[in-house]
Structure 1
Amino acid sequence: MKQYISSILLVCLSIIIIGAYYGIMIVNANDFPEYSIKTLEGHESEMKDVSLSGFVEKEGMNTSVKITSNETLYLSNQSSLQRMTVYNDPRIEKLKKEHRSFMRGKNNIYSFYQDADFIAYAETVYKPSSLDHSYKYVFNIGLLDLASDKDISFELGVPGEIFNSISVLDVQLIQSKLKVVTKNYMYTNTGMDEAEVHVYTFDLGNQKLLNDEVIITPQQVKMGYDVINSMEQNPSQPQKSIIFIKRPEIVNQSEGSANTTNKAAIFEYVYDKNHLKTIELPESLTDRIVTSQNYVNGDKLYVINHDAKGLHLTTFTITNQTITNDQTFPIKSVGTETFPIVIKNDRVYVLATNDFEENNSSNLPPQLFIGEMKTGKTMYKGEVIPKKVDQKFNTKSLVLYSLEIN
């Protein structure tokens, strides 16, 4: 009996200690500062739909934070329900609210396709085989008919080699066939991963795989081929193609200089044509695209560079293969910084951790810049600062790494 009493007392003591620890954590979380976005230039109405995400560090503890023009939201202060609605991807939450049954267990927005008639889904899952108990990647495929609210789902093994990991890059419904673009990583004897890009074509009616095409080989990946990130706010919308970049292969690097064997190039894989075609770039972009931030939105390629004059943003229309806009914004960078950037509604939104003026140190508040695409005009400039002046908190404890436009 004494043994049981000792065990019970030990459990109770553990609960008290753990409870006290988490109680302190909650109190500390409540002590984190409130932030505001102070307007330095322009109209506050320009940033009313902007939210900034990152984390705040205090006394060795980090907590996620989301800052808007109205409030500061800390993950540690939210209930479980609030965390789902505030911190989860709002596009996924919207789909779950509208199609709860179909969305069960589906969380990756890049695995969806949606048009006026259907929602399609494709994801890869690593699971044991029912035959020999070995682990292998399988496709989870789903299709929801929005008119009838009926759905189908099936599972198919990923053919070929046993891959180390697989990530879905794009999902499209083309002429009643589901196209799934993936980047597959293979573990080699050298201990280094090799990657290749596949396009899988599925017959949804007969629930079978029609084709597995490698469109970017491991050798091409080593030569600098890679997909260009999308800046589309809704990556599940219909697209006719996916865009790739080939950066020149660096063959020698010494004393801060590098030589390359060939020029950069852009390739477009058109889904209904099943082939990769070259996009001709103007000479002025061929050199810049190597060291730039590159994004695709629909048929627009955005090429973004920084130098002493500011941030250069060139819009290249893929359909016409012409430059349709070229602006320089007064955003100064320190070194070779990469800024979170969103382009939406004829505005470019930039989140920076350094001041936009020259010859300033990097220990400055995070800053938000909004510029007009057509004219290059500065529409808004502000900085993120604590609402209350407190020596315990400084800008170095706040790290912001993304922005969203609602």
Structure 2
Amino acid sequence: MMRYWKTTVLTTVSVLCLGTYYITTSSPKPDYYIQTVSGDEKAAASIEVKGANNQDALTINLEGSKYRANSFLQSQDDHMEYNNKTLNDMFFAHDSFMRGKRNSNEFCENEKFIGHARMKPKPNTSDLEYLFTISIYEKANKQSSSFEVIIPKKNMNQHSYWVEHVWFDGQTIKVITIENRKKDSEREVHLYTFSLEKKSLLNEQLMGQPIQNNNGYIREGIYEQDRNKPQRFVIYQGHLSEQGNSSRSELYVYDLQNGTSEQIKDEKIKEYLANNQNESMVVTLNGDEIILVLAKGKEKDSRILRYHLLEKKVKGEFILKHEDSQTSVNQYIDVVIKDNQIFLLSIGFQQERWAPIVHVIDLNTGLNVYKGYINQKIEKESDRQKNYMWGNLRFSS
């Protein structure tokens, strides 16, 4: 009899888990929506805020919320979603190509192809070697192919590396990686160029000088949001330690076309970096410009700065006022540049209640053309739930 106790326990636990899941998901789910505070709702018609309520993924728009978790297995897939709508569509339509490829940074796309690049240490070698696997999916005929390239890496740390960005450039695919040295833990940024025709490595380039970890560090690179656009620049934010416990932040721009790297020394940029308390600033790359959005906390206005990388000058500065609409912004979660407008998702307070807040700003004039926040459809205040999580901005079209 004793030999059956494990089977009995497992069966009981499985039934309890499935029963608990059924009870949880069968109860009515709260309905959220973007409530308009001011402005033209046409500017927010395509906005979808991705979030979650308990274990259920959902998207929220002006009309209401839509849940994706219809079954236990599908709810598990929802936790594996990509931030890119095209990649989500690919996951369900072409699972054989997408299987095991979960990192959005490893993908690139153009009109004809989806590309993917992965790196990992080659096993059973005395000296470290990175094995790069380049995979290509052709949209027209729905066919995929791949090739592998081995690159020796004698002095690098085999436990600290990752692919940061991938994009197509003509008949090549370019890959930017972050790699740490074994001896001194210096972090390096590398650019690899692979030939799609020859299925080989054409060039490897070290992007600028590394920053030592004991003196400071660099954050992940900031890239063009639209993966279909050519990638000319990469922006890096460095945090350098000074005497005592003080530190300073700097912005660096790497020109992929010229292979040059330099610090952005504009005084306005330095002012924004100096005021970036509690990591409340978001930097976004839009073509030849960077957009800095700085939240100033409760009862303070936010500031938006446009800086042109080629002209090396500020193109405009806007003040996003909050006091007129009883809104305060503590931190911006997502910033998207689309159709000559800035779409902002932040966390803050609306009418003294915590809420994710949505703004749409005209990029040329700085005018706030729309403002809204995430609210719940309820009959009475006691029905309000506070256990939903927000993610990022998406667009239905």
User: Same-fold call, TM > 0.5?
Assistant: yes
Q: Is the 8 A contact 2:332 2:347 kept in 1?
A: no
Aligned residues: 381
Matching residue's letter, 1:25: T
- Structure 2 residue 347 is the aligned partner of structure 1 residue 353: yes
Question: Counterpart in 1 of 2:266?
Answer: 282
Question: Counterpart in 2 of 1:400?
Answer: 390
5 Å matches for 1:280-319?
Answer: 280-290=264-274, 291=276, 292-307=281-296, 309-319=300-310
What is the CA distance between 1:268 and its match in structure 2? 1.6
What is the CA distance between 1:48 and its match in structure 2? 1.8
Cα deviation digits, residues 63-112 of structure 1 (max 9, x gap): 43322223323354457569869983322134467877655544444323
Question: Counterpart in 2 of 1:378?
Answer: 368
Question: Counterpart in 2 of 1:23?
Answer: 22
1:355–1:209 CA distance, 2 compared to 1 (3 A)? same
Unaligned 5+ residue runs, structure 2? none
Q: Is the 8 A contact 1:168 1:181 kept in 2?
A: yes
- Structure 2 residue 59 is the aligned partner of structure 1 residue 66: yes
1:249–1:369 CA distance, 2 compared to 1 (3 A)? same
What is the CA distance between 1:375 and its match in structure 2? 2.2
Question: Counterpart in 2 of 1:200?
Answer: 192
Question: Counterpart in 1 of 2:117?
Answer: 122
Q: Is the 8 A contact 1:196 1:218 kept in 2?
A: yes
Distance in 2 of aligned mates of 1:172 and 1:141:
12
Distance in 2 of aligned mates of 1:136 and 1:19:
45
Question: Counterpart in 2 of 1:138?
Answer: 131
Matching residue's letter, 2:301: G
Cα deviation digits, residues 126-181 of structure 1 (max 9, x gap): 6x62x469997521112456678765411233531342132222223445343210
1:136–1:278 CA distance, 2 compared to 1 (3 A)? closer
Q: Is the 8 A contact 1:279 1:318 kept in 2?
A: no
Cα RMSD (Å) = 3.8
- Structure 2 residue 42 is the aligned partner of structure 1 residue 40: no
Identity level (%): 19
TM-score normalised to the size of structure 1? Answer: 0.77
**Secondary structure in 1 matching 2:271:** helix
Matching residue's letter, 1:139: F
Distance in 2 of aligned mates of 1:398 and 1:142:
37
Question: Counterpart in 1 of 2:177?
Answer: 182
5 Å matches for 1:185-334?
Answer: 185=180, 194-220=186-212, 222-230=215-223, 232=225, 234-235=226-227, 237-253=229-245, 258=246, 260=248, 264-270=250-256, 272-273=257-258, 275-278=259-262, 280-290=264-274, 291=276, 292-307=281-296, 309-331=300-322
Distance in 2 of aligned mates of 1:336 and 1:70:
26
Structure whose alpha-carbon radius of gyration is higher: 1
Cα deviation digits, residues 307-336 of structure 1 (max 9, x gap): 365221111121222322321112478696
Question: Counterpart in 2 of 1:112?
Answer: 107
